[in-house]
Amino acid sequence: MRYLTAGESHGPQLTAIIEGVPSNLPISIEAINEQLARRQKGHGRGRRMQIEKDQVKIVSGVRHGYTTGAPITLVVENRDWTHWQGIMSAEPVEGAEEKRRVSRPRPGHADLNGAIKYHQRDMRNILERSSARETTVRVAVGAVARQLLAAFGIRVGGQVLQINDVVAKRQEVSLDELIARTEESPVRCLDKEAEPLMMAAIDKAKEDGDSLGGIVEVIVEGVPIGLGSHVQWDRKLDGRLAQAVMSIQAFKGVEIGVGFEAAGLPGSKLHDEIIWNEETGYSRKSNRAGGLEGGMTTGMPVVVRGVMKPIPTLYKPLMSVDIDSKEPFSASIERSDSCAVPAASVVAEAVVAWEIANAMCEKFPCDSMDDMVENVRQYRAYTEKY
Ligand code: EPS
């Protein structure tokens, strides 16, 4: 499967075209909208989220509730577009070109590098596309992937582990409990003691005109053994997951399983011992590998973490340079969020769900769900007996 997205933050809409989704997969628009609503929540979002109420429209590839095998086009309209029509118009509009022109790049944003690379004197032409608004439609794509995964009993959850210097205490809970409890938390965090501290840190940052980053974790359960492959670099699923998570706006690092902690552990304390029982076949005593060895799934939960840097738009801006005068100036201020880590955890779930769904489609014949369901069933019976 593959997908592309298009659209600007304040343009008329965001669009995704997905190709390769098997036919006869039931698609619930409501379930896609639920994911879009999850992404819009979270303590620390700015005023834009009060304007938007993201809803998907499917304009191709699905008929009467089922995929047809044709490319699926997802559209999410920007309500804020009504305020930006002249400024963002595809047709020339007299006087509108100079309005909201951005000439003072924000440190940490794509503004300056993009403007130089694409020969733009208005950095709005860069920031509109590099904006994390684009994650809306990636969450919609992920919601389609989740519906494919659900057909095979594969489930995805996520949580926030850290915001700024507030670190959540690890809690060993089932995936069901994790999903239910993080949904109730304004910062998507399981640790009830860390939660108010995270919220207070966000409030303080907002007051100070500052922004905060953090760490999110995604867990996928029910994955068969052997998705991905060891035979070629670009087929290794851990590598693909890392790219998917790293490609989320403002992400600066990715870990799988214990990740960087592995550097400080001897092999005897790191690797997960292999066990076997008659009912379920092979399994592991622990899951420090995060469900991936040799670029392939082990059958244990896939665990991926990502770190998000603080958003570059600051209400008390850092110093920058005006590209017209070359004089030092405060960076431009755009309306923004003070912390989007809880929302980013939903985005991370979406991109991970997509990669796992894609790996399922590579492993099993996937023209139609009919083929795929039968093949997955046979493969699971085989792995249990192996
Ligand atoms: C964003 C800036 C803000 C965020 C936006 C991402 O938008 P605006 O400039 O319109 O206030 O709210 O995020 C979303 C719109 C969204 O849906 O997540 C940025 O510059 O990345």
What integer pLDDT is reported at residue 172 of this predicted model?
93
Task: Look at residue 334 in the predicted model and tell me its pLDDT.
Answer: 77
- Structure-derived torsion over alpha carbons of residues 152, 254, 3, 67, reported in degrees to the nearest 10: 20
Global pTM exceeds 0.75 = yes
Rounded CA-CA distance 220/58 in Å is: 26
Q: Decide: helix, strand or coil at residue 177.
A: helix
Determine if ligand 1 sits within 6 Å of the CB of residue 9: yes
334 lines ligand 1 (CB under 6 A): yes
Kindly report the protein residue whose alpha carbon is nearest to atom 5 of ligand 1.
Answer: 133
The series of mean pLDDT values per 10 residues for the chain, 386 residues long, is 98 98 98 98 93 97 98 98 96 91 95 98 97 98 98 98 98 97 98 98 96 98 98 98 98 98 98 93 96 98 98 93 96 88 98 98 97 97 93
Burial 241-277 (b: 16+ CB within 10 A, else e): bbebbeebbbbeebbbbbeeebeeeeeeebebeeeee
Distance CA 177, CA 150 (A): 17
- Dig out the tokens for 60 from the structure: 């191709």
Q: Does the beta carbon of 159 sit less than 6 angstroms from any atom of ligand 1?
A: no
Q: Specify the residue with its C-alpha closest to ligand 1, atom 17.
A: 133
The response to whether residue 195 sits with its C-beta less than 6 Å from ligand 1 reads: no
pLDDT for position 97: 84
Asked if 345 and 4 count as a contact pair (C-beta separation under 8 A), the reply is no
Q: Whose CA is nearest to atom 7 of ligand 1?
A: 336
Closest CA to 376 of 362, 364, 367: 364
Closest to 23 measured CA to CA, from 156, 151, 139: 151
Q: Yes or no: is domain 2-385 CATH 2.40.170.20?
A: no
Does ligand 1 have an atom closer than 6 angstroms to the CB of 130? no
From 222, 369, 366, select the one nearest 301 (Cα to Cα): 222
- Tell me the CA distances in angstroms from 317 to 180, 238, 323, one per residue in order: 38, 37, 16
Say how many C-beta atoms besides its own lie within 10 A of residue 136's C-beta: 26
Distance CA 73, CA 18 (A): 6
Angle between helices 29-40 and 341-363 (to 10 degrees): 140
Q: What is the pLDDT of residue 13?
A: 98
Tokens of 247: 């490609």
Q: What angle do CA 263, 243, 107 make, to 5 degrees?
A: 90
What are the residue boundaries of the structural domains of the chain, listed by start?
2-385
Shortest-distance Cα residue to atom 13 of ligand 1: 133
> Does ligand 1 come within 6 angstroms of the Cβ of 139?
no
On the CB side of 63, CA atoms within 13 Å amount to: 6
